[in-house]
Structure 1
Amino acid sequence: METKKLSKRKIQSAQTREKLLNAGRETFIEYGFQKTTISQIIKKAETGYGTAYVYFKNKDDILIELMEDVMAKFYEIANMTYEPKSKEEAYTLIEQQSILFLDMAIKEKLMMQVIEEAIRLSDNVRTKWTEIREQFINRIGEDIAYAQKNELARNDVNCSIVARAWFHANEVYLWEIVKDNNPPSIREIVHNIASIYTGGLYK
């Protein structure tokens, strides 16, 4: 009996948390980060103030969790298997990943616009974004190290430095797309930056 009560309580807790996150997403997209208040989110979620603050202490906390959910989709792309056997195969895999990465920016544009604003305005969100960036950079570094180990890439360069530069190139165009700054087509962007990247790194 006690186990059933506990299970029911956990389900209700998960449902309340999900309601707050869904309400947060809708409210952030409608009003932007700066104009959104946690009171608006709580009202839209139809939960009590005391209950809401059990899960999130402020709107920054809600956005950070939403940001982690969105960026998990990007990280799934970054985590694709990368075991090229040639420079040409490396280019194809890198091109594919970059296209999927920037396509995801379009799919998640509304939420990414909120995140971009929050990064500028919130120290907490900015810190979280820095952590997320490092995850991507480390993953890219692993791919470069693999290519170096298998004698596909130059060994006279530091894989961490190159990884940071490559992520930065993609990030620049990520925000260009998100902010609707009339960037070139995704395929044109990817062809140019991937060609320069692989041309300079791979043998």
Structure 2
Amino acid sequence: MSQTKVEDKRHLRSMVTRQKLLQAAKEVFLQEGFQKATISQMIKKANIGYGTAYVHFEGKEDLLIVLMEDVMGRFYEIAEISFLPNSKKKAEEIINKQAHSFLLLAEAERDMMQIFEQAIGVSSLVSEKWKAIREKFIQRISEDVAYAQQNGLARAELNHEIVARGWFFTNEMYLWEIIRNEHHGSVAEIAKTITAVYVTGLYL
């Protein structure tokens, strides 16, 4: 067998092992919560060797961060929706759709998001990762605000980065309320209301 084929097989086996471990980690986190979950439980559930597991991940925080990146990647796809409005009305439609989709996804991912919230509160590694994820969203929103300003749709005197932070933090606050089941009103109503307030303040 050629060296390339041997390496390909090894790489495939490595990817399968990694996926098994991530799936086991997800199940253990959901069952035990972040603090009680241990990497030993995950390794046992995945039915792989300790040495093999530590080749892929240093500990449970590493595993959770990969799971967090995966879930938040789906949220980020919403932020990436093409934003090229030619009117205030069109901008409001796109922004409302984004806010609604974002909060609906929070509802759909409630169980894992609850684990992320626990981890953010106790792990500096996970907390730093959340901050990095947050900045990525803010940067993307900032680009959309700048586009609206450059095209004469939004108030040019406002700092687009500060506006973006305010809009993300509003969404984030409602995201956690939904995850904790503490929200008042439906997701559609929340999205429509916060969008109307945001657009009214920013757009001309």
Could you say which TM-score interval applies, normalised by the shorter chain? over 0.9
CA distance in 2, matches of 1:4, 1:14: 15
Q: Which residue in 2 is equivalent to 1:188?
A: 189
Per-residue CA deviations over 1:17-65 (Å, capped at 9, x if unaligned) read 0000000111111111011000011000101001100000010000000
Q: Which residue in 2 is equivalent to 1:136?
A: 137
CA distance in 2, matches of 1:135, 1:21: 24
Shift of residue 181, structure 1, vs aligned partner: 1.3
CA distance in 2, matches of 1:144, 1:130: 21
Q: Which residue in 1 is equivalent to 2:160?
A: 159
CA distance in 2, matches of 1:28, 1:161: 35
CA distance in 2, matches of 1:43, 1:184: 42
**Which amino acid is 2:165 matched to?**
R
TM-score normalised by L of structure 2: 0.98
Q: Which residue in 1 is equivalent to 2:149?
A: 148
Q: Which residue in 1 is equivalent to 2:15?
A: 14
CA distance in 2, matches of 1:120, 1:55: 25
CA distance in 2, matches of 1:64, 1:184: 31
Q: Which residue in 2 is equivalent to 1:109?
A: 110
Shift of residue 144, structure 1, vs aligned partner: 0.1
Shift of residue 183, structure 1, vs aligned partner: 2.9
**Which amino acid is 2:59 matched to?**
N
CA distance in 2, matches of 1:91, 1:125: 33
CA distance in 2, matches of 1:81, 1:174: 22
Shift of residue 138, structure 1, vs aligned partner: 0.4
| 3-state secondary structure, aligned to 1:200 | helix
Q: Which residue in 2 is equivalent to 1:78?
A: 79
Tell me if the contact between 1:173 and 1:183 (Cα under 8 Å) persists in the aligned partners.
no
CA distance in 2, matches of 1:164, 1:152: 19
CA distance in 2, matches of 1:167, 1:89: 20
CA distance in 2, matches of 1:78, 1:32: 29
CA distance in 1, matches of 2:17, 2:140: 34
Q: Which residue in 1 is equivalent to 2:53?
A: 52
Query: Are residue 94 (structure 1) and residue 95 (structure 2) matched?
Result: yes
Identity %: 53
Shift of residue 182, structure 1, vs aligned partner: 4.0
TM-score normalised by L of structure 1: 0.99
CA distance in 2, matches of 1:144, 1:182: 27
CA distance in 2, matches of 1:64, 1:3: 31
**Which amino acid is 1:88 matched to?**
K
Shift of residue 105, structure 1, vs aligned partner: 0.5
**Which amino acid is 1:153 matched to?**
A
CA distance in 2, matches of 1:191, 1:56: 41
Q: How does 1:168-183 map to 2 (within 5 A)?
A: 168-183=169-184
Tell me if the contact between 2:95 and 2:195 (Cα under 8 Å) persists in the aligned partners.
yes
Shift of residue 188, structure 1, vs aligned partner: 1.2
Tell me if the contact between 1:119 and 1:125 (Cα under 8 Å) persists in the aligned partners.
yes
Q: CA RMSD in A?
A: 0.6
Query: Are residue 40 (structure 1) and residue 56 (structure 2) matched?
Result: no
